[in-house]
RNA sequence: GGGGUGUUAGCUCAGCUGGUUCAGAGCACCUGCCUUACAAGCAGGGGGUCACUGGUUCGAAUCCAGUACGCCCCA
């Protein structure tokens, strides 16, 4: 035989991927005769490289899309990339720095030129990597969130929302990243648990005639912000501070006088019960300040250094300033003590810098109105989240949704289409021309020129383009009634990570209802995070993330795909272990060898058909498993679906069916058996194909001559068929018999090659007759006959109430055998007692359903028969 | 602090409407096999008080309450 004993994925994968591409199997066009099935890819960052998370996510999407394609649906998987403004800009800035260029020395246009060059050169590698995985995306439809049409959609949406009053400009407390020098959305801020210090500072109470100065002690974690203090707040019910109501205090070092205000917001027990109010640098203080109509003093520059308003430590970084002021306070005797306490530090997801709550002028998008339909759609299961446990999280987020800060102080992205007039007012427009027209109209100044207008410097948050993705990839903004969007939208399934449920998924749902009055997708499958075997997140610094392409190289794409899916139920983190991928590869090999076996048989047409029972059984078994597989798919239990296929292939098809029909060495096989077997293998390949596309396509073609477009990838998915439950159950018993015989061999050290005899004492001989050949073959038997009486001097066992005897030619260990039987007898007796107890319970008999009672009766009868049989065997020993 | 969610074999997890799918799977482990499809394999096997406590029920891994521990989200 010339076929390799090991499956070799390398050339196979390339060959079939190219072949699929050439024949256009991935490409989709609207087809009114077919049901559409659509997935839009969560666009990876254009700067990204494939990591394990992508592997899992895209394998699942590919499984779904391939199955749909085989089901005869018009399957369309739209790929693309995201411009990822912060991440990409950071990479370009770093690249320029290496060349000795500072971003601040460049104009916006110069910088963008570099950025585009960089994107053209390094961007989109990830899409090429996805091809190695076997992703059957419609590459003709590849989109990029910053390409012209998609940017135009973003601008159009911005203008539209602005005109609807949904977008506004305002001073707000934002999360400021002093390193990236941009505002961040709440979702881009990562809280980190740390130990922080609480400084207790003395504020002098403004002289009220007392000879000695008196103080109030204020606790703060940020002493460097005291120069921005505008008040000290205490709880009006706090007895300790009653004497200070209506008084003022002096800021330490600065000496500035500020009022003591009263508010029940202050927790009496926390710190000293006295709170310094610094509206410019803390969200809660800001709200307190608003309430009490206090001024705000912002003492920080964009880069986190102190400005002139601070008066002290001007120009120093906030952390340096903190060290210095603590020292000075100490020297001035105003620092009472320092306490350690556990606190949460807000950091930037991108740069890791400590976030500065800061007042700044930003653009916001109102969320509350848009959140309504988006919330309802999920709560009433119009859009289903898998697993549904995420519904609660989704609801609590949507019910407490806050306005979305959409502006970013960056250059890489869609520039905010607001144009400022010389008088400081502004207009919002989709183009320069329109802006000028509007500006002239609104200012009444027809002399205004384009040069008089200044466009906002900021760009929009990346998510402001990705929330439109399911619509914009089909040009639903440019041309709202085009045939693609009408056909493919709403899409079917979205596969993504739970950490972007709010960033992205929720906003896409909002955009769907806002701009098309329709949900963007019907199902959201939430994957878990891929972690290492110890449960740690995969990260570059830990070096615990394998390179996916190396894995593919080593184990084959099919092996990796199967390995990823073996243990990743929806919503659960995947603890990745290379063992899983190894298992996937071994599975490939198993399938390969099954194919080799079948391919190697000579057919002799003159032979009769000896395998009717085996064929009938596997046919039923396949259909039984198939119903299960379909059920798993319908509930998005992808791992379970794969495991069902795995067991069907390995246990049922290979270990059992093929062993049953396998002719003796170098003997030919009959025509009927081989035909059935090939048909079975084809069906098995079909259900396997979504998971392991390459090896299945390879075998499909090696098995038979195929016509030009007769590919597995576009073959028809099996249909659910009726199956014979009785033959499956009977075979289970038969395989138990075989297993018991093998067990006897094992425990008695009887080699496989030595034939044994078997005597069967059963109630219904005819029920066993069709299976005798199978038992003989799988257990390697010589004599095989039915008997009426128990056989002396034999090892016996019982399966489903029937007795089986293997004569042992006298070398039977009577004591051991007696002990074994005695043990089994005791167990069965105990079992009978428990069943009897149940059945004699009046309330059980009257309360339980008929089927359950019947079952208990059957258990009782079986147990009694078994006890009887064991006792006889014991007697005959 | 509020909310969510989980705890089942050494590990990762199934277990759906309470009862034959009820204590399961895969991996790991142990024993024996180089049996001409496959040692990346074959055959067999040992592992669990279903976190704890109580309740509901004829019957609880499954429903309810509390406790402990873990994780997630929000403040």
- Find the Å distance, CA of residue A689 to C1' of nucleotide B71: 35
pLDDT in tens, A690-715: 999 999 999 999 999 999 899 999 99
Residue A803: both structure tokens together: 């007795």
Euclidean distance between CA atoms A860 and A853, whole angstroms: 11
Q: What is the CA radius of gyration of chain A?
A: 37
pLDDT at A498: 83
* Mean local confidence (pLDDT), A271-281: 85
Burial label, A353 (beta-carbon count in 10 A; 0-12, 13-18, 19+): middle
Q: Which nucleotide does the CA of A640 lie closest to, via C1'?
A: B14
- Distance in angstroms, CA of A778 to C1' of B42? 12
Mean local confidence (pLDDT), A650-664: 94
Neighbours of A806 (CB within 10 A): 22
| Strand B contacted by A569 CB (< 7 A) | yes
- A201: preceding bond cis by omega (within 30 degrees): no
DSSP A716-772: PPPPP----HHHHHHHHHHHHHHHHHHHHHHHHT--TTS-EEEEEE-S-HHHHGGGH
Q: What gap in Å lies between CA A343 and CA A580, rounded to an integer? A: 39
Q: In 10 A of CB A675, how many CB atoms?
A: 14
Which nucleotide does the CA of A573 lie closest to, via C1'?
Answer: B12
| CB neighbourhood size of A601 (10 A) | 18
A349 CB-to-strand B distance under 7 Å: no
Q: Which of residues 105-164 of A touch strand B (CB under 7 A)?
A: none
Both tokens assigned to A211: 């000879």
Statement: the CB of A558 is under 7 Å from strand B: no
**Which one, of A137, A120, A125, A18, lies nearest residue A79 by Cα?**
A137
Most confident range, picked from A172-181, A352-361, A697-706: A697-706
Q: Name the nucleotide nearest A537; use CA and C1'.
A: B71
Residue nearest to nucleotide B73 (CA to C1'): A393
Nearest nucleic acid nucleotide to A859, CA to C1' distance: B20
Nucleotide nearest the Cα atom of A391 (by C1'): B4
Q: How many whole angstroms separate alpha carbon A683 and alpha carbon A689?
A: 10
Complex ipTM = 0.93
CB of A862 under 7 A from strand B?
A: yes
**pLDDT computed for residue A18 by the predictor:** 97
Strand B contact with A499 (CB < 7 A): yes
CB A794 within 8 A of CB A812: yes
Asked whether strand B has any atom less than 7 Å from the CB of A396, the reply is: yes
> What angle (nearest 5°) sits at the alpha carbon of residue A177, between those of residues A172 and A183?
40
Which segments of A349-474 are extended strands (E)? 356-365, 384-386, 404-405, 407-408, 418-420, 426-428, 454-455, 459-460
* Side-chain half-sphere exposure of A175, counting CA atoms within 13 A: 22
Q: Say which residue the tokens 């105990």 belong to.
A: A830
Whether A729 CB is under 7 Å from strand B: no
Strand B bases with any atom < 7 A from protein Cβ = 2-6, 11-14, 19-20, 25-28, 31-33, 35-45, 57-59, 72-75
Cβ of A838 near strand B (distance < 7 A): yes
Helix (H) or strand (E) holding A851: helix A850-876
What percent of chain A shows pLDDT beyond 90? 52
CA distance A631 to A649: 18
For range A789-794, the mean pLDDT:
82
Q: What is the pLDDT of residue A539?
A: 67
pTM: 0.88
Read off the pLDDT of residues A561-584 as tens digits, 9 standing for 90 and up: 999 998 777 777 778 888 889 999
Q: Compute the distance between CA of residue A36 and CA of residue A846 in angstroms, rounded to an integer.
A: 53
The residue that leads in pLDDT, A451 or A846, is A451
Residue among A725, A806, A731, A728 nearest A768 (CA): A731
- Tens of pLDDT, residue by residue over A107-142, are 999 999 999 999 998 888 999 999 999 999 999 999
Listing DSSP states for A156-184 in one string gives: HHHHHHHHTT-EEEEEEEEEEETTTTEEE
Q: How many CB atoms lie within 10 A of CB A795?
A: 23
Residue A2: per-residue pLDDT: 55
Strand B within 7 Å of which CB atoms in A 530-549? 535
Distance A12 CA to B21 C1' (A): 39
What CA–CA distance (Å, rounded) separates A321 from A336? Answer: 19
- More confidently predicted of A827 and A159: A159
pLDDT at A342: 65
Q: How many CB atoms lie within 10 A of CB A652?
A: 21
- pLDDT of A1 reads 41
Q: Can you tell me which residue has the tokens 């390179």? A: A547
| Nearest nucleic acid nucleotide to A746, CA to C1' distance | B44
Strand B at less than 7 A from CB of A749:
yes
Closest among A666, A550, A569, A661 to A614, alpha carbons compared: A661
Beta-carbon contacts of residue A279 (< 8 Å; ≥ 6 apart): A228, A230, A285, A286, A288, A289, A290, A294, A295, A296, A297, A359
Chain A window 652-691: residues with CB closer than 7 Å to nucleic chain B are 654-655, 658-659, 662, 665
Q: Is the CB of A746 under 7 A from strand B?
A: yes
Q: How far apart are CA A422 and CA A448, in angstroms?
A: 9
- Rounded mean pLDDT of A625-637? 89
Q: Which of A's residues 625-644 have CB atoms within 7 A of nucleic strand B?
A: 640, 643
Closest C-alpha among A30, A76, A155 to residue A482:
A30
**CB distance A325 to A226 below 8 Å:** yes
Consult the annotation and say whether A540 binds a ligand: yes
Mean pLDDT calculated for residue range A335-354 = 77
Q: Is the pLDDT of residue A337 over 50?
A: yes
Q: How far is the CA of A502 from the C1' of B12 (A)?
A: 29
Q: Does residue A843 approach strand B to less than 7 Å at its CB?
A: yes
> Quick check: A465 pLDDT over 80?
yes
pLDDT of residue A187: 62
pLDDT-derived band at A210 (thresholds 50, 70, 90) equals low
The C-alpha atoms of residue A185 and residue A554 are separated, in whole angstroms, by 41
Q: Is A812's pLDDT higher than 70? A: no
Residue closest to B40 C1′ by Cα: A586
Predicted local confidence at residue A124, as pLDDT? 84
**pLDDT tens digits, one per residue of A728-767:** 989 988 999 999 999 888 888 888 888 889 999 887 888 8
- C-alpha A157/C-alpha A151 separation (Å) is 10
Mark residues 242-301 of chain A whose C-beta is closer than 7 A to nucleic acid strand B.
Answer: none
Kindly tell me if the per-residue pLDDT of A535 is higher than 60. yes
- Rounded Cα distance, A662 and A594, in Å: 11
A5 touches strand B (CB under 7 A): yes
Answer whether residue A457 shows pLDDT above 50. Answer: yes
Task: Answer yes or no: are the C-beta atoms of A127 and A79 closer than 8 Å.
Answer: yes
Average pLDDT of the residues of chain A? 89
- Identify the bridge partners of residue A781 per DSSP, sorted by sequence position: A756
Q: How far is the CA of A422 from the C1' of B4 (A)?
A: 52
Long-range CB pairs of A32-35 (<8 Å, 24+ gap) are A32/A487, A34/A72, A34/A73, A34/A74, A35/A72, A35/A73, A35/A74
| Contact assessment for residue A285 and residue A266, using Cβ atoms and an 8 Å cutoff | no
Nucleotide nearest to A741 (CA to C1'): B44
Reduced to 3 states (helix: H, G, I; strand: E, B; else coil), residue A197 is: strand
- CA atoms of A685 and A183, how far apart (whole Å): 52
- The answer to whether the C-beta of A754 is closer than 7 A to strand B is no
**Cis status of the peptide bond prior to A153, with omega within 30 of 0:** no
């Amino acid at each position: 035989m010339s076929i390799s004993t090991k499956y070799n994925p390398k050339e196979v994968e390339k060959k079939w991927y190219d072949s699929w591409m050439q024949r256009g199997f991935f490409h989709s066009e609207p087809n009114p005769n077919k049901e559409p099935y659509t997935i839009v890819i969560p666009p990876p960052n254009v700067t990204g490289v494939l990591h394990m998370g992508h592997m899992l996510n895209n394998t699942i999407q590919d499984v779904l899309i391939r199955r749909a394609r085989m089901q005869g649906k018009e399957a369309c998987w739209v790929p693309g990339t995201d411009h990822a403004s912060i991440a990409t800009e950071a990479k370009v800035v770093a690249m320029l720095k290496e060349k000795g260029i500072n971003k601040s020395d460049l104009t916006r246009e110069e910088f963008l030129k570099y950025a585009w060059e960089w994107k053209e050169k390094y961007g989109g590698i990830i899409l090429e990597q996805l091809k190695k995985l076997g992703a059957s995306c419609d590459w003709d439809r590849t989109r990029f969130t910053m390409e012209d049409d998609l940017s135009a959609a973003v601008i159009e949406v911005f203008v539209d929302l602005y005109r609807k009053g949904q977008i506004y400009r305002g001073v707000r407390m934002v999360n400021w990243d002093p390193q990236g020098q941009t505002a961040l959305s709440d979702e881009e801020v990562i809280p980190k648990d740390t130990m922080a210090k609480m400084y207790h500072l003395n504020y002098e109470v403004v002289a009220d005639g007392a000879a000695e100065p008196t103080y109030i002690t204020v606790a703060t974690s940020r002493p460097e912000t005291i120069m921005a203090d505008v008040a000290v707040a205490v709880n009006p019910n706090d007895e300790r501070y009653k004497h200070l109501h209506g008084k003022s205090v002096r800021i330490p070092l600065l000496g500035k006088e500020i009022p003591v205000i009263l508010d029940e917001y202050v927790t009496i027990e926390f710190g000293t019960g006295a709170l310094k109010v610094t509206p410019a640098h803390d969200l809660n203080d800001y709200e307190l300040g608003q309430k009490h109509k206090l001024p705000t003093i912002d003492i920080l520059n964009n880069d986190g250094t102190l400005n002139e308003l601070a008066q002290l430590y001007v120009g120093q970084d906030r952390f340096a300033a903190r060290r210095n002021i603590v020292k000075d306070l100490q020297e001035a005797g105003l620092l009472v003590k320092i306490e350690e306490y556990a606190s949460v530090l807000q950091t930037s997801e991108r740069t890791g810098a400590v976030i500065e709550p800061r007042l700044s002028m930003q653009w916001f998008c109102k969320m509350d109105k848009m959140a309504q339909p988006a919330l309802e759609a999920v709560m009433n299961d119009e859009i289903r989240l898998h697993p549904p446990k995420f519904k609660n999280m989704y609801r609590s987020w949507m019910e407490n949704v806050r306005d979305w800060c959409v502006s970013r102080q960056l250059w890489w992205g869609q520039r905010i289409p607001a144009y400022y007039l010389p008088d400081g007012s502004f207009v919002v427009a989709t183009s320069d021309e329109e802006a000028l027209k509007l500006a002239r109209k609104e200012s009444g100044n027809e002399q205004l020129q384009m040069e008089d207008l200044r466009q906002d410097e900021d760009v929009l948050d990346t998510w402001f383009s990705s929330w439109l993705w399911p619509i914009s990839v089909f040009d639903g903004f440019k041309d709202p009634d085009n045939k693609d969007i009408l056909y493919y939208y709403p899409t079917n399934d979205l596969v993504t990570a739970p950490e972007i449920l709010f960033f992205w998924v929720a906003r896409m749902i909002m955009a769907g209802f806002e701009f098309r009055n329709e949900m963007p997708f019907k199902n959201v499958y939430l994957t878990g995070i891929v972690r290492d075997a110890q449960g740690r997140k995969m990260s570059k610094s830990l070096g615990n993330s394998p390179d996916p392409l190396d894995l593919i190289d080593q184990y084959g794409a099919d092996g990796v795909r199967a390995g990823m899916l073996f243990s990743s139920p929806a919503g659960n983190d995947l603890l990745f272990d290379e063992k899983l991928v190894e298992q996937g590869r071994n599975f490939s090999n198993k399938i390969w060898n099954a194919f080799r076996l079948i391919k190697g048989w000579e057919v002799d047409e003159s032979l009769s058909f000896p395998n009717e029972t085996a064929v009938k059984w596997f046919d039923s078994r396949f259909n039984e498993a198939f119903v299960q597989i379909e059920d798993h798919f319908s509930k998005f239990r992808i791992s379970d679906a794969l495991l069902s296929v795995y067991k069907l292939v390995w246990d049922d098809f290979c270990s059992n069916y093929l062993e049953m029909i396998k002719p003796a060495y170098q003997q030919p096989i009959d025509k009927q058996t081989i035909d059935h077997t090939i048909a079975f293998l084809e069906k098995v390949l079909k259900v396997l194909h979504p998971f392991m596309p390459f090896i299945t396509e390879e075998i499909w073609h090696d098995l038979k001559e195929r016509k030009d477009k007769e590919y597995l990838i576009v073959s028809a998915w099996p249909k659910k068929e009726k199956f014979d439950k009785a033959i499956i159950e009977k075979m289970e018993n038969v395989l138990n018999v075989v297993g018991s015989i093998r067990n006897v061999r094992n425990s008695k050290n009887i080699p496989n090659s030595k034939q044994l005899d078997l005597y069967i004492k059963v109630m219904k001989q005819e029920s066993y007759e069709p299976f005798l050949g199978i038992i003989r073959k799988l257990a390697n038997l010589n004599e095989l006959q039915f008997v009426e009486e128990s056989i002396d001097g034999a090892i016996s066992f019982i399966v489903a109430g029937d007795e089986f005897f293997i004569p042992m030619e006298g070398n039977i260990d009577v004591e051991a055998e007696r002990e074994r039987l005695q043990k089994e007898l005791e167990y069965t007796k105990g079992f009978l007692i428990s069943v009897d107890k149940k059945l004699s319970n009046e309330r059980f008999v009257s309360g339980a359903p008929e089927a359950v009672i019947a079952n208990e009766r059957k258990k009782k009868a079986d147990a009694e028969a078994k006890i009887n049989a064991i006792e006889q065997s014991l007697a005959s020993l």
